């Protein structure tokens, strides 16, 4: 438990200090603004301001120009990064263009990825994409899973899995050049490779060939699930604040009954659905109850994370009560996603949080029905 609390400490400060903005249209952050940790969601996003903390962006078209003191996280359709980022960069996008300077590592999952001549990466570059064109400089290692790769710049020790691999006259590999492909790479005679060139002809299954790609895709899906949970929690808090407060109040004031309701929801409802499915008149009802059951579990799992974030906030801020903010939601989602990996007790804690979230939701549904029955509308 102490290990978990220590782990939480690494997240609580940035999560509480973060500023969240969203819009269905365009979002623009000018140079005159001085945000610290900034999270943006919108259709079109342009950030010119210098960010003194982390920058998280999600949108259709994204352009990052300003300096980022810590790390940059982006999920979008068309992504352009011209920023100087002093820590790491993680990008998921359709078309990704990187022309800035990154002091740390860069992780990219995309369709078409281009590193401009002005780009420089201080750490390693890890990419899973359809096509990759590397015109800039990568000081660390290069690891790629792709369909087509063109190296037209300077890279460190490289390991590439691709169908088409080309090293142009401007290419320089500082270290070994290891590649896996169905055919030999096209290497210009004037390209420089300071280490050994090792070619492994592809003979295995598609999964083996693109193992790096599938691993990156799995990691991307995991990150997007975290972002989705934060957004869903924010929507619940934004549009149903009173209901959210009722659910959390019940969980905090009556945790054991909440867990009991959670077990009843998890086991009792599915038993009832199975019984109804075996009756002629109950099939339609069973389908509706099953759909409602799935929705209850999904929303309840989010509330379990909200409860964790609110409890952790109160734990570290002893003079404060339980808080329901986007910061505590993000805190709960992030920590719960890490807790599951703690050996033995991690899955148990995650299951209890799940029941604590599902139980109050089911309890609210029951009491709402009782209120409707005892107060009929005339």
pLDDT of residue 114: 94
Residue 134 included in any domain: yes
The long-range contacts involving 163-167, CB below 8 angstroms and separated by at least 24 positions, are 167/191, 167/193
Type and span of the H or E element at 250:
helix 241-253
Task: Give pLDDT tens digits for 233-286.
Answer: 888 877 888 888 888 888 888 888 888 888 888 787 777 767 666 665 556 666
pLDDT digits (tens, 9 = 90+) for 55-68: 888 778 889 999 99
For the residues 353-372, what does the mean pLDDT come to?
74
- Nearest-angstrom CA–CA distance, 277 and 310: 40
190 within domain boundaries? yes
User: What is the phi/psi pair of residue 306, to 5°?
Assistant: -60, -45
Which residues, listed in sequence order, are joined to residue 344 by a DSSP beta bridge?
Answer: none
What pLDDT sits at residue 115?
Answer: 95
Q: Give the pLDDT band of residue 8 (cuts 50, 70, 90).
A: very low
Best CA proximity match to 302, nearest among 222, 352, 232? 232
Burial bucket for residue 280 (CB in 10 Å: 0-12, 13-18, 19+) = exposed
- Picking from 212, 244, 260, the residue at the C-terminal end of a domain is 212
Q: Are residues 164 and 304 in the same domain?
A: no
CB within 8 Å of 196: residues ≥ 6 apart: 176, 177
Q: What does DSSP say about strands 154-155 and 158-161: parallel, antiparallel, or unpaired?
A: unpaired
Assigned domain for 199 exists: yes
In a domain, 62, yes or no: yes
Residue 9 covered by a domain:
no
Higher pLDDT among residues 79 and 15, named by residue = 79
The reply to whether 117 and 194 lie within a common domain is yes
Instruction: Read off the pLDDT of residues 177-193 as tens digits, 9 standing for 90 and up.
Output: 999 888 899 999 999 99
Residues 70 and 205 in one domain: yes
Q: Are residues 232 and 153 in the same domain?
A: no
Residue 68: predicted pLDDT: 93
Asked whether residue 26 is assigned to any structural domain, the reply reads no
Q: Which of 212, 246, 276 is the last residue of a domain?
A: 212
| Domain match, 141 and 168 both | yes
Q: Is there a single domain that holds both residue 67 and residue 193?
A: yes
Collapsing DSSP states into helix, strand and coil, what is residue 49?
coil
- Considering the domain architecture, whether residues 45 and 169 belong to the same structural domain is answered as yes
Residue 157 lies in a domain: yes
306-315 mean pLDDT:
81
249 plus 157 within the same structural domain: no
Whether 207 and 275 share a structural domain: no
Is 222 domain-assigned?
A: no
Joined tokens for residue 235: 């929507």
Query: Which residue range is the domain that position 116 belongs to?
Result: 34-212
The reported pLDDT for the residue numbered 238 is 79
Average pLDDT value for the chain: 79
Taking 70 as the threshold, does the pLDDT of residue 306 lie above it?
Answer: yes
Q: What's the total number of domains in the chain? A: 2
| pLDDT band for position 376 (cuts 50, 70, 90) | very low
Judged against a pLDDT cut of 50, whether residue 10 lies above it is answered with no
Q: Is 344 left (phi over 0), alpha (psi -120 to 50) or beta?
A: left
Q: What is the pLDDT of residue 147?
A: 85
Q: Which helix (H) or strand (E) holds 263?
A: helix 255-263
Same domain for 232 and 206, yes or no, is no
pLDDT of residue 12: 38
Domain boundary among 162, 188, 212: 212
Q: Is there a single domain that holds both residue 238 and residue 114?
A: no
DSSP classification of residue 265? I
Selected residue with higher pLDDT from 320 and 55: 55
Whether residue 166 is found in the same domain as residue 249: no
Neighbour tally for 353: CB within 10 Å: 26
Q: How confident is the model at residue 83 (pLDDT cuts 50, 70, 90)?
A: very high
């Amino acid at each position: 438990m102490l290990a978990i609390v220590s782990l939480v400490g690494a997240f609580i400060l940035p999560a509480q200090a973060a500023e969240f903005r969203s819009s269905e249209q365009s979002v623009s952050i000018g140079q005159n603004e001085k945000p610290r940790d900034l999270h943006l969601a919108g259709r079109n996003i342009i950030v010119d301001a210098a960010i003194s903390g982390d920058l998280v962006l999600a949108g259709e078209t994204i352009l990052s120009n300003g300096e980022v003191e810590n790390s940059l996280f982006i999920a979008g359709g068309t992504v352009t990064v011209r920023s100087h980022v002093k820590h790491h960069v993680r990008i998921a996008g359709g078309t990704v263009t990187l022309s800035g300077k990154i002091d740390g590592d860069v992780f990219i999952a995309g369709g078409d990825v281009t590193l401009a001549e002005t780009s420089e990466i201080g750490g390693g570059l890890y990419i899973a994409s359809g096509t990759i064109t590397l015109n800039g400089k990568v000081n660390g290692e290069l690891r790629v899973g792709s369909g087509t790769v063109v190296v037209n710049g300077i890279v460190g020790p490289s390991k590439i899995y691709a169908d088409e691999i080309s090293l142009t006259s401007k290419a320089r590999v500082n270290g070994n050049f290891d590649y896996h492909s169905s055919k030999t790479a096209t290497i210009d005679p004037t390209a420089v490779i300071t280490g050994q060139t090792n070619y492994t002809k592809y003979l295995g299954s598609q999964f083996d060939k693109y193992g790096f790609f599938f691993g990156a895709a799995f990691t991307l899906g995991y990150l997007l699930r975290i972002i989705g949970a934060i957004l869903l929690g924010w929507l619940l808090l934004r549009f149903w604040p009173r209901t959210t407060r009722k659910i959390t109040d019940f969980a905090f004031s009556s945790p054991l009954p909440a867990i009991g309701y959670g077990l009843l929801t998890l086991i009792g409802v599915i038993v009832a659905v199975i019984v109804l499915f075996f009756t002629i008149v109950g099939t339609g009802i069973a389908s509706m109850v099953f759909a409602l059951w799935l929705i209850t579990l999904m929303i309840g799992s989010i509330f379990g994370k909200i409860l964790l974030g609110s409890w952790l906030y109160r734990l570290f801020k002893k003079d404060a009560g339980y808080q329901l903010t986007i910061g505590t939601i993000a805190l709960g989602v992030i920590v719960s996603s890490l807790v599951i990996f703690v050996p033995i007790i991690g899955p148990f804690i995650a299951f209890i949080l799940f029941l604590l979230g599902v139980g109050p939701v089911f309890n609210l549904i029951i009491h709402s029905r009782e209120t409707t029955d005892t107060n009929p509308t005339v």
